[in-house]
A and B are shown apart, each in its own frame.
Chain A
Amino acid sequence: MNLDQIFDIFTKSIGIIEADKIFPYILALVMIIISIILAKGFSMFLKKSLRDKFDKDRLGILLKGSYYGIIIIAIIMVLPILGIDTSGLLVAGGVTGIIIGFASQSIVGNLISGLFIMAERPIKIGSEVEIDSIRGFVEDIGIMSTILRNYDGLYIRIPNEKVFTNNIINVSANIARRIEYSIGIRFTDDADRAIKIIKDLVEDHPYILKHPSPDVFVDNFSESSVIVMMRAWAPVSQWYETKKELLLKIKLSLEKEGIKIPYPQRVVWLSKEESDKNTLN
């Protein structure tokens, strides 16, 4: 049964009414109803697939946008059926679109970056991060910008395009973080003893993790000192406190045992002959 046959049956059944005038309206209505069903189905599909990737508010905006977007497109498609010429509208829309596109390039860039950040989730609210050399805690991730609170307590707004295109260091993404100290001791000091003192302190500290195992070793001979390296891991939540506390303990313990951290020094050898000549002169 083709469209003409349906049209004939329809004409016969409603008889007195001019069916050829009513049919486009019914077709338009059916198309809009189908578009509403499609929009509903698509937004449900988006809700299911993006539920874990977006927070509730932002997902709501996205769902509404896609729902009404589909319906608006359907209405524009339906208008020619009703005899309304949309070519003028499309030309006007196209020109307006180009103007708006140029004017709002960065806005659209930020918006799309914002959507990608929300989907990819390299950072979360509360994460400690470094973005474009700015370090701080993430306070909010918006559609257009990300808000940081730096260590001085300042409010910093970073456009999402910048967040998306820059390297992001998320300090709190992993549960453990390494602490590394490079400690210089005198060449005359007992390096084995120094290593033992540091190892004991590391073992006694509750937040220095048992595994991965801490490592303390002689790493290098510098101009003025023997460099003892200490590498150990701590829970990321305790990292800063542990780092501060342990370094002070190491310094105090080494000093207590007579092991000193030397100043930069240079040994100068003077020839005796030269010295005698200088004295005679």
Chain B
Amino acid sequence: MYGYYKAPLNPLRISKDGIYLQIKKDGNDLHYERTVNNNSIEKILLTKDCGIIINPIESQKIRNKVTPYLLIEFEKSIFVEPKDTNNIYITFPVDIGVFISGHKNYDLLDAFTLAKEKYTLYGNPRNGVICKYHKSPVFTSIPSDVNPLINGLMKLKLINTTDRWIEVTKSVFDSYEMKVYFNENLVSMKANMKILTEKIAETEFVDSGIKKGMKKALEMFESTKIAVTQKKYTMEDGI
């Protein structure tokens, strides 16, 4: 489903895993229609023809712009050896963006998700942050049964800089810095989690896919011209 759909689009129909997407001619213009989980939206595209790019996008910008943060809670907690580095694989919820392209430019037309939406509080109500919540199993190698339309796979490098065994139960990320890579069968991200103390860690994304030949997804924050200054997120309220 992911990819670039060149003009002429009349008509374009995509129906997969509960996603129904259609672009058809409406007079001189185009009519966009999308249905996911009984939620439908329609838009009029004032153009004779255009291209459409469907990509996985950075999480969080769907529905009311509640938060830019993503908290992934591990189904089983992980103990990391002192002064050691390990890789684990966890899932993350995939948001799908539909971009309209033409005249050497593109912009976000629509965004939706098939993943369950849930939010949580990281920290306390006064100084904490609201995060999108996702509970993930933990894998030590790449699993084969991840649906790229619902969940992506993140390779998380755990770097324990302390002299103690550390238990990690969750990870918090700032989605402005997400670097999503994909192919037809897998959506992926790479990130590092540097454990600084028993309760503090720093997370950051790595600009690379987890398999060779994966394509970098269009960055929504780039398309919406949001300046990104902060590169890391510091988890100060427990790991």
Contacts and interface: CB of A to CB of B under 8 A. Distances in A.
Contacts of B66: 207, 235, 237-238
Contact of A237 (B64, B125, B128, B129): B64
Given A235-B67, A237-B66, A238-B64, A174 B120 contact: no
Nearest to A233: B121
A45 B43 CA distance: 55
Given A210-B133, A235-B67, A175 B121 contact: yes
A15 interface: no
A264 interface: no
Contacts of B119: 206-207, 209-210, 235
14 contacts: A174-B126, A175-B125, A175-B126, A175-B128, A175-B129, A206-B63, A206-B119, A209-B119, A209-B121, A209-B133, A210-B73, A212-B121, A233-B125, A235-B67
A235 B129 CA distance: 10
A211 to B, nearest CB: 5
Contacts of B125: 174-177, 233
Chain B interface bracket (under 10, 10 to 19, 20 to 34, 35 or more): 10 to 19
B184 interface: no
Interface residues of A, number: 15
A237 B145 CA distance: 36
A173 B130 CA distance: 14
Interface of A: 173-177, 206-207, 209-212, 233, 235, 237-238
B61 to A, nearest CB: 15
Nearest to A203: B118
Q: Is the interface of B mostly helix, strand, loop or mixed?
A: loop
Contacts of B121: 175-176, 209, 211-212, 233
Interface string B110-143: 0000001111111001101110010000000000
Contacts of A207: 66, 119
A39 B102 CA distance: 59
B129 to A, nearest CB: 7
A209 B66 CA distance: 12
Contacts of B67: 235
Q: Is the interface of A mostly helix, strand, loop or mixed?
A: loop
A187 to B, nearest CB: 34
Contacts of B63: 206
Contacts of A210: 73, 118-120, 133
A244 to B, nearest CB: 15
A206 B118 contact: yes
- Chain A CB within 10 Å — which of B64, B73, B119 has the most? B119
B100 to A, nearest CB: 27
A235 B130 contact: yes
B231 to A, nearest CB: 23
Contacts of A238: 64, 66
Nearest to B120: A210
A237 B63 CA distance: 12
Contacts of A233: 121, 125
Contacts of A206: 63, 116-119
Please name the 3 residue pairs, one residue from A and one from B, whose CB atoms are nearest each other, closest first: A206-B117, A210-B120, A174-B125
A220 to B, nearest CB: 26
Contact of A175 (B73, B118, B130): B130
Nearest to B133: A210
A211 B120 CA distance: 5
A233 B66 CA distance: 14
Given A237-B64, A237-B66, A209 B120 contact: yes
Contacts of A212: 121
Contacts of A175: 121, 125-126, 128-130
A211 B71 CA distance: 11
B22 to A, nearest CB: 26
Nearest to A237: B66
A175 B133 CA distance: 16
A175 B66 CA distance: 11
Nearest to B122: A211
Interface in B85-117: 116-117
A101 B121 CA distance: 51
Contacts of A211: 120-122
- Chain B CB within 10 Å — which of A174, A175, A238 has the most? A175
B11 to A, nearest CB: 33
A209 B71 CA distance: 12
